[in-house]
Chains A and B, each alone.
Chain A
Amino acid sequence: MTSPAHAEAHAAHAEHHQLGFVRTYLFSTDHKMIGRQFLFMALFMMIIGGSLALMMRWELAWPEGNVGPEPNAATRVLLKLFGDASSGDLPIPFTKWIPEPYMYAGHMPPEFYNAAFTMHATIMIFFVVMPILVGCFGNFLIPLMIGARDMAFPFLNMLSFWVGAVAGVLMLAAFFVPGGAAAGGWTSYAPLSAVPTYTGVTWGQNLWCISLIVLGASSLMGSINYITTIINMRAPGMTYFRLPLTVWSLFITAVLLLLALPVLTAALAMLLLDRMAGTSFFLPAGGGEPLLWQHLFWFFGHPEVYIMILPGMGIASEILPVFARKPIFGYRAMAFSMIGIAFLGWIVWGHHMFQSGMNPTLGTSFMISTMVIAVPSAIKTFNWLGTLWGGNIRFTIPMLFALGFVAMFVIGGLSGIFMASTPVDIFIHDTYFIVAHIHYVLFGGSIFAIFGAIYFWFPKMFGRMMNNFLGYVHFWGTLIFYNGTFFPMHIIGIGGHMRRIYNPMQYEFLHPLQHWNVFMTVSALGLGLAQIPFVINFLYSLFFGPKAERNPWHSNTLEWVAVTPPPHGNFGPTLPTVYRGPYEYSSPGVEEDYLPQDRLLSDRPAHAH
Chain B
Amino acid sequence: MLEKLGLFPAAASTHAGRVDALYLFLIGVSAFFAILIATLIVVFAFKYRRRSDDEQPKLIEGSLALELTWSIVPFGIAMLIFLWGAQLFVSLKTPPKNALDVFVVGRQWMWKVQHLEGRREIDELHVPVGRPVKLTLTSEDVIHSFFVPAFRIKQDAVPGRYTEEWFEATAVGSYHLFCSQYCGTEHSRMIGRVVVMEPADYQAWLSGDGRPAAGANAALATNAAAVSVATAGEGLFKDLGCATCHKSKPGALGPSLAGVFGSQVQLQSGASVAADESYLRESILNPDAKIVAGYQPVMPTFQGQVSEEDLLQLITYIKTLRSS
Contact = CB atoms under 8 A, between A and B. Distances in A.
Contacts of A247: none
Interface of B: 6-9, 18-19, 22-23, 26, 29-30, 33-34, 37-38, 40-41, 44-45, 48-51, 55-63, 66-67, 70-71, 74-75, 77-79, 81-82, 84-86, 88-90, 92-94, 108, 141-143, 145, 147, 149, 152-156, 158-164, 176, 178, 180-189, 191, 286, 303-304
Interface stretch (A42-50, A132-140, A157-165, A360-368): A360-368
A383 B67 contact: yes
A491 B22 contact: no
B187 A364 contact: no
Contact of A393 (B44, B74, B75, B92): B44
Nearest to B286: A287
B156 A355 contact: yes
A390 B50 CA distance: 11
Nearest to A285: B303
Nearest to A185: B182
A383 B68 CA distance: 11
B188 A502 contact: yes
Contact of A587 (B48, B59, B75, B82): B59
Interface in A485-504: 491, 494-496, 498-504
Given A364-B89, A392-B48, A588-B59, A385 B163 contact: no
B85 A424 contact: yes
Nearest to A513: B6
A422 B154 CA distance: 11
Given A356-B163, A364-B86, 19 more contacts: A185-B182, A192-B184, A326-B60, A333-B62, A355-B145, A357-B156, A368-B82, A392-B57, A393-B45, A403-B41, A417-B26, A426-B92, A426-B153, A426-B154, A494-B23, A498-B188, A502-B187, A503-B188, A586-B58
Interface string A413-425: 0110110111110
A391 B82 contact: no
Which secondary structure characterizes the binding site on chain A?
Answer: helix
Interface in A409-455: 410-411, 414-415, 417-418, 420-424, 426-427, 429-431
A475 to B, nearest CB: 14
Contacts of B149: 427, 496, 509
Contacts of B49: 393-395
B91 to A, nearest CB: 9
A38 interface: no
Ranked 9 nearest A-B pairs via Cβ: A284-B160, A357-B163, A496-B149, A330-B62, A501-B188, A378-B74, A382-B70, A422-B89, A414-B30
Contact of B185 (A110, A290, A394, A415): A110
Given A285-B304, A379-B70, A389 B44 contact: yes
A375 B74 contact: yes
B34 A414 contact: yes
A368 B56 contact: no
B61 A329 contact: yes
A109 to B, nearest CB: 9
A372 interface: yes
A331 interface: yes
Interface residues of A, number: 93
B89 A284 contact: no
Contact of B159 (A284, A361, A383, A415): A284
Most buried by A among B33, B143, B304: B143
A200 interface: yes
13 contacts: A111-B185, A199-B184, A331-B61, A333-B67, A357-B156, A364-B86, A393-B44, A410-B38, A414-B34, A418-B23, A424-B23, A427-B149, A593-B56
B89 A363 contact: yes
A288 to B, nearest CB: 8
A519 interface: no
A351 to B, nearest CB: 12
Contact of B189 (A185, A506, A586): A506
B222 to A, nearest CB: 28
A361 B304 CA distance: 34
B65 to A, nearest CB: 11
B154 A509 contact: no
Nearest to A357: B163
A385 B41 contact: yes
Nearest to B27: A418
B181 to A, nearest CB: 6
Contacts of B304: 285
B187 A410 contact: no
A407 B79 contact: no
B3 to A, nearest CB: 10
A233 to B, nearest CB: 28
Contacts of B59: 326-327, 586-588
A192 B154 contact: no
A287 B281 CA distance: 12
B89 A423 contact: yes
A386 B23 contact: no
Contacts of B78: 371-372, 374-375, 417
Contacts of B74: 374-375, 378
A507 interface: yes
